[in-house]
Amino acid sequence: MSQPAEEGKTLLYDNMRKLISIIDELKDVGVQQYIQLPRIAVVGTQSAGKSSLLEAIVGVDFLPRGEGVVTRRPLELRLVHVSPTAGEDFKPYAEFPKEGKTKYYDFDKAREKIIQLTDQIAGKNKGIVDDPITMTVYSTSCPDLTLIDLPGITRIALANSDQVKDIEKVTKDMCRRYARDSRTIILAVMPANQDMATSDSLKMAQEEDPEGIRTIGVVTKIDIMDKGTNARRMLLGQDIPLKLGFVGVKGRSQLDINNNMKVAEALKIEKDFFVTHPVYSTLPPGHVGTEALTQKLTKVLFGHIRNTLPEIAKEIQNKIRECEERQKDLGDPLPSNTKEKMQLLWNMITDFTENFKNNIRGKYDPKRNARVAGEISGGAKIKLMFQELYSDFLDRRPTQHMSDEQINKAIVLHQGDSIPGFPSVDSFLYLITPLLKQMRDPALELLNNVHLYLESIAQQLIEKIFARFPTIIDEITEIVNRALLEEKEIAKDLVENVIESERTYLH
């Protein structure tokens, strides 16, 4: 390879490493809890060949093996490609960031550490827990990638274990939580000797990624298909199309592993297998082999991070602004002496009273009030309540409910007190008194509604202004409600007095 080409390749690796490192650092500080970050999730059924596939990508043996569900906690693999120029003395090693800076040059020890960390959380009796283990591998043979190995989809729980009876639902739900995220690339792993149409991983990928724009299909165990059959149509996407395509791999068999075949030797055998195969050797480049899969994963993840990073940066800025606003609402640090504490409490009380008055007057404070577009609130809503009072009386004649016979009866009863030819005033009083009584109940109902509304406004302001001191919120609320209730009783007495005075005046 020419020197400019080699320099270009080195620059590309550097750029990829920088982008992936940014995402890893964001995960380390907990951003993943609030914002979804790009990642590759490995989804497949139990014994689909996921472990052999991941070890082939990394280039070393490090994963636990055994019967039943072996991956019982998600394993986040952060692969860091080390340039071959690091020197002959460089040896691949692994680290567990949450467990300190200990370097595991012996990957058998790293395997034991994975088992230990799994047992600590998931127990030793085959339980499954959605609490990821993070492991970083530094090697000259691995690419710059971050992969999450998920527990395999399992149909039947093992006897005499801690596995739940509905283990199929548990494992599927865990895989689905990762696959549902629009920023997660789905690596759907399926064995070649299984009908593609019944693949759990591919079915889940189709459900969560119906357009197939973030799913890569991996066909494992391609060398054990029945004689006379091949995966050509499958790999070319002629049966089930994926925009990112399929890649076929030949992993190590259990016999190979039992015979201690190294990953490097297995990769050489895989390469020879595809080169000499009468069908697979005729496929276009990029459809078979672990090397082709690694290149595809690297390219896809690099592009995915590059495309989503501006959006992620924007979301982080929005979160920062939200936190800053909440921090401003918390105010200055709490005072230490009694005088300053009393001053702080007085300022909060003043803040409450001013905001309460402003709300009634219609002065909007965005920091204290949440307003829905088009919704009437504050004093405007109370004014509208008053405008609707006695609307039924205004839309009809006062005597509408009286018959002519009732009016004649009133005139006859009181005609002795009147001047001949003029209706008696007592007749008018006799007819109007029931109407005055009818005006009492709507006025008291309005008074009650206004009181409840003022209480709700006060409660909202109290919860915001006194949020720093939740222990006194109930006491402040009780004081405010007692004051509002006293005002309500005063207003109630006023209504009663007004109606009574009108009656007295008329008499």
Task: Give the tokens for residue 74.
Answer: 């998600």
Amino acid code (one letter) for 272: D
Q: Domain for residue 190, yes or no?
A: yes
Q: What is the pLDDT of residue 505?
A: 47
List b or e across 46-57, with b for residues whose CB sees 16 or more CB atoms inside 10 angstroms.
Answer: bbbbbbbbbbbb
Residues 6+ apart with CB under 8 A from 102: 95, 96
For residues 298 and 417, membership in a common domain is answered with no
Of the CA atoms within 13 Å of residue 207, those in its CB half-sphere come to 14
- SS3 state at 189: strand
Domain of residue 163, residue span:
3-320
Non-local (6+) Cβ contacts of 234 within 8 A are: 192, 196, 219, 240, 246, 248
Q: What is the pLDDT of residues 90-133, one digit of tens each?
A: 889 999 988 878 899 999 899 899 988 888 887 776 677 888 89
The answer as to whether 328 is a domain residue is: no
Cα dihedral 313/317/323/326 (nearest 10): -150
Q: Are residues 34 and 158 in the same domain?
A: yes
Domain end position, chosen among 294, 320, 346: 320
Please write the tens of the pLDDT for every residue from 326-359: 777 766 777 778 888 888 888 888 989 888 888 8
Domain assignment present for residue 502? The answer is yes
Verify that 261 and 394 share a domain, yes or no. no
Structure-block tokens of residue 341: 């504490």
Give the count of domains, the chain.
Answer: 2
Q: 101 lies in a domain?
A: yes
461 contacts 355 by C-beta, under 8 angstroms: yes
pTM (predicted TM-score)? 0.64
Yes or no: say if 121 and 73 are a contact pair by the CB < 8 Å rule. Answer: yes
Asked if residue 327 belongs to a domain, the reply is no
Say whether pLDDT at 284 is over 60: yes
Q: Indicate whether 384 and 349 sit together in one domain.
A: yes
Mean pLDDT of the chain: 80
Q: Which amino acid is at 381?
A: K
Is there a domain that residue 331 lies in?
no
Strand 93-95, strand 133-139: pairing: antiparallel
Residue 109, in any domain of the structure? yes
9 and 49 share a domain? Answer: yes
Domain membership of residue 330 (yes or no) is no
* 31 compared with 484, residue with greater pLDDT: 484
pLDDT tens digits for 402-440? 666 766 666 666 566 555 555 666 666 666 666 666 777
Task: Tell me, yes or no, whether 259 and 354 share the same domain.
Answer: no
